[in-house]
Amino acid sequence: MGRRRPEVRELAMSTWWLGLPPAQATVSCGGHEHRLRWETGELHALDHGDTESERTLAALGGERCTCVDMLDAWERHRDDLRVFVLASRGPTDPVVTMPDERTAQLGVVRPQAVAARSAIVSRARRRHMAAVSTMGPAVARQSGWTAYGPSGRASNSAEADTELCALLGLGGGVPERLVATVAARWRERLGQPDPTLAQARPQLRAALHGRVFAALRTWLGGSGVESELKMIGEAEKPRLIAEDGIVRAELPFGWLVDVWAKDLATIWGRFCLSATTDDGCSWRLTTVPPDLGSPAVVTLLLS
């Protein structure tokens, strides 16, 4: 009998995905190539009209549907802190996912991007706005998983690890959207009474630290940069300064959602401290120059 769908606690998610274009990957499903597409914060199986019926048939002993299994895996891991550890931190940190006996039954047959990973950057390029430093997607690798093998063949932990390998191996920008989704959910939790926060806070800080300084090292042109990070509240003023030879950053966890996920960590040779928009077209960026001088606001108006 198939495993029940997970009960996922829903949060009052904002439109955090504004500025992120759709992302798409192709998987092998029932002997055919099917499309998984992320758009406006959700993952969809484009080649299946009634996914609930597919789940019902599988629960009754019918053939499992790879696409639906992937949707369910996405739901199970959309707030999984391990995503921050296993996913890429930037272009200098590619992810390699290797198939094993359990992953061999599902293959990512043709990873693809249906749009540039950052709509902001691609549209700015089309308007000849300057050379923008972008953070490209992680290197895609052939991978797969099966979360529903014979009973006793794999532990729940091993199945979860296999699912994560499959999701992070999809390519086409989908793994980066998973990182953004996890970050958005935990930003929401940081603003609510949540008993899990005390245990999770060091992991959230580490997730922020790794991606901030991966961007800083590339921006400042070297790996020998001595740096410190203070994770501040969402309402506090972010800053980046040099003090006693140390680069000190004070940024909220939401920087991962508003800036890093949208490929705006560095833009026009400047480091971005914050990015806000109401419609995905008009953007207000607070940026710092390479000499770590005073911040300046850059406004983008995209048509």
* pLDDT tens figures, 27-69: 998 788 999 999 999 999 998 877 666 666 655 565 678 888 8
User: What is the span of the domain harbouring residue 169?
Assistant: 23-117+134-183
* pLDDT tens figures, 241-297: 998 889 999 999 999 999 999 999 999 999 999 999 998 889 999 999 999 999 999
Residue 268 has φ and ψ, to the nearest 5°, of: 55, 40
* pLDDT tens figures, 224-233: 778 899 999 9
Q: Output DSSP code: residue 262.
A: G
- The reply to whether 179 and 75 lie within a common domain is yes
Looking at the domain assignment, is residue 96 inside a domain? yes
- The reply to whether 41 and 164 lie within a common domain is yes
As a whole number of angstroms, the distance between CA 222 and CA 216 comes to 9
> Quick check: helix, strand or coil at residue 158?
helix
Looking at the domain assignment, is residue 127 inside a domain? no
Given a contact cutoff of 8 angstroms between Cβ atoms, the answer to whether 106 and 134 are in contact is: no
Looking at the domain assignment, is residue 123 inside a domain? no
- Measured in whole angstroms, the distance separating CA 176 from the mean position of its chain's CA atoms is 3
- The reply to whether 252 and 139 lie within a common domain is no
pLDDT at 222: 72
The first and second tokens of residue 80, run together, are: 């999984």
Q: How many CB atoms lie within 10 A of CB 89?
A: 22
Q: What is the mean pLDDT of residues 15-34?
A: 91
As a whole number of angstroms, the distance between CA 230 and CA 222 comes to 21
Which residue type is seen at 11? L
The more confident residue out of 42 and 97 is 42
- The reply to whether 113 and 252 lie within a common domain is no
Mean pLDDT, rounded, of the chain: 77
Looking at the domain assignment, is residue 95 inside a domain? yes
Q: What is the pTM of this model?
A: 0.77
- The reply to whether 156 and 211 lie within a common domain is no
- The reply to whether 38 and 162 lie within a common domain is yes
* Burial (0-12, 13-18, 19+ Cβ within 10 Å), 52: exposed
pLDDT at 117: 38
- The reply to whether 32 and 175 lie within a common domain is yes
- The reply to whether 204 and 272 lie within a common domain is yes
Looking at the domain assignment, is residue 253 inside a domain? yes
Tokens 């992680």 locate to: 138
Looking at the domain assignment, is residue 287 inside a domain? yes
Q: What is the signed CA dihedral for 19, 184, 271, 249, rounded to 10 degrees?
A: 170
Closest of 294, 259, 280 to residue 183, by C-alpha: 259
Looking at the domain assignment, is residue 141 inside a domain? yes
Looking at the domain assignment, is residue 262 inside a domain? yes
Given a contact cutoff of 8 angstroms between Cβ atoms, the answer to whether 143 and 96 are in contact is: no
- The reply to whether 36 and 105 lie within a common domain is yes
- The reply to whether 42 and 164 lie within a common domain is yes
Backbone φ/ψ region at 217: left (φ over 0), alpha (ψ -120 to 50), beta: alpha
Q: What is the mean pLDDT of residues 180-207?
A: 92
- The reply to whether 175 and 214 lie within a common domain is no
Q: What single string gives the DSSP state of each residue in 75-124? A: HHHTT-THHHHHS--STTS-------TTGGGS-B---B-SS-S-HHHHHH
pLDDT at 137: 28
- The reply to whether 175 and 219 lie within a common domain is no
What is the tally of structural domains in the chain? 2
As a whole number of angstroms, the distance between CA 268 and CA 130 comes to 6
